[in-house]
């Protein structure tokens, strides 16, 4: 990690808000340096060395965001991220010393809001934290059609935005990851409209600095599987060659 200029010299957009950030990293030197640096940006940062310490902190205090290392002793960061996302919408910034594209895509798929490779510049860390916090505040949950309707039917399926649940035609709940829910919500908001990958990335990630076209393709494939949509001849989420994807279904309030 590269330590740069004095943090107090460039206050961020959340100055004065006393944001609380939990930094989970087994490297004590990095953990302490990050906590110290974030303190110059009106953030109260606490450190945890592993998943157990993280859970202990979360049990006794509220945090506005988590900086989570992928490689941890015991339960790794991917497992912790997946569990955190099943319990809350807290912004999660993953980081790793291994610049592995697959790990980055998996991290985003299971619900991380952004991914940062080590070594990193501390200014970039702060910028990305500000970015995920802004997105969380402005669009914590995507609005569904007609804004007042929290339960929307598309075809024979039902999407409940309050519970963040997908129900199949028999009423069975089909579990969705945070990323799958956001993508499906965007498609349901814009039926019969072709959405290209860049727009889908922007709408579902909120303009993350590092984005991957293939992450959308993977999410579409996973959504089709959960919607029992034949990938060779999909009826719900159609591929428009050279342009993007489109939800082909009638939308109605449930």
* pLDDT attached to residue 161: 86
Gyration radius (Cα) of the chain, Å: 19
- Token readout for 252 is 């109605």
Q: Could you tell me if residue 12 is inside a domain?
A: yes
Cα distances (Å, whole numbers) of residue 126 to 6, 26, 50, 59, 89: 12, 20, 22, 25, 20
Residue given tokens 């922007």 in the structure block: 202
From 108, 138, 168, the end of a domain falls on 138
Element holding 24 (H helix, E strand): strand 19-24
Q: Number of folded domains in the chain?
A: 2
- Cβ atoms 188, 144 nearer than 8 A: yes
CATH code for the domain of 100: 3.40.50.2300
Distances (CA, A) of 4 to 25, 43, 162, 227: 20, 18, 42, 48
pLDDT for 150: 79
For 35-91, what is each residue's pLDDT tens digit? 999 988 878 999 999 999 999 999 889 999 999 999 999 999 999 998 888 777 788
Residues pairing with 173 in the sheet: 167
Residue 2 has pLDDT above 60, yes or no: no
Structural domain boundaries enclosing 72:
7-138
């Amino acid at each position: 990690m590269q330590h740069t200029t004095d943090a107090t010299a460039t206050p961020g957009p959340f100055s004065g808000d006393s944001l609380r950030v939990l930094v989970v990293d087994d490297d004590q030197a990095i953990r302490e340096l990050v906590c110290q640096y974030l303190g110059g940006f009106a953030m109260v940062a606490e450190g945890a060395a592993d998943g157990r310490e993280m859970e202990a902190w979360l049990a006794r205090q509220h945090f506005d965001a988590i900086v989570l290392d992928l490689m941890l002793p015991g339960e790794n960061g991917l497992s912790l991220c997946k569990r955190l996302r099943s319990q809350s919408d807290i912004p999660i910034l993953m980081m790793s010393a291994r610049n592995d594209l697959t790990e980055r895509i998996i991290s985003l798929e299971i619900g991380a809001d952004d991914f940062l490779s080590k070594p990193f510049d501390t200014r970039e860390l702060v910028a990305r934290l500000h970015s995920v916090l802004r997105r969380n505040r402005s669009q914590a949950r995507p609005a569904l059609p007609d804004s007042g309707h929290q339960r929307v039917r598309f075809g024979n399926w039902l999407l409940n935005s309050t519970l963040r649940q997908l129900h199949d035609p028999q009423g069975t709940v089909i579990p969705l990851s945070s990323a799958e829910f956001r993508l499906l919500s965007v498609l349901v908001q814009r039926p019969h409209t072709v959405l290209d990958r860049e727009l889908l990335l922007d709408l579902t990630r909120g303009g993350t600095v590092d984005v991957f076209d293939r992450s959308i393709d993977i999410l579409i494939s996973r959504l089709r599987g959960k919607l029992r949509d034949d990938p060779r001849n999909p009826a719900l989420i159609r591929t428009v060659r050279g342009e993007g994807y489109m939800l082909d279904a009638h939308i109605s309030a449930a």
